[in-house]
A = this chain, B = another copy of it.
Amino acid sequence: MMSRPAYLSAEERREVTVEAVIDLAAEQNPADITTGAIAKRMGVTQGALFRHFPSKDTILQAVMEWVSERLLARIDKATAAAASPLGALEAAFTAHIEFISEHPGVPRMLFGELQRAERTIAKRMAQTLIQRYGERLGRLIAEGKERGELVATLDDKAAATLFIGTIQGLVMQSLIAGDVKRLRASAPGAFALYRRAVEAVK
Contacts and interface: CB of A to CB of B under 8 A. Distances in A.
A169 B190 CA distance: 14
Contacts of A111: 111, 115, 172
Interface stretch (A8-16, A47-55, A61-69, A193-201): A193-201
Interface stretch (A24-32, A38-46, A71-79): A24-32
**Most chain B C-beta atoms within 10 Å of own C-beta, residue among A111, A186, A201:** A111
A34 interface: no
Contact of A115 (B112, B114, B165, B193): B112
Nearest to A113: B29
A155 interface: yes
B173 A161 contact: yes
A77 to B, nearest CB: 24
A164 interface: yes
Contacts of A112: 31, 115
A127 B31 contact: no
A193 B127 contact: no
A162 B170 CA distance: 8
B127 A190 contact: no
Contacts of A127: 176
Given A158-B189, A169-B162, A193-B158, A175 B115 contact: yes
A142 interface: no
A168 interface: yes
Interface in A93-132: 108, 111-112, 114-117, 127, 130-131
A20 interface: no
A70 interface: no
Nearest to A155: B189
Interface of A: 27-32, 108, 111-112, 114-117, 127, 130-131, 151, 155, 157-159, 161-162, 164-170, 172-173, 175-176, 186, 189-190, 192-194, 196-198, 201
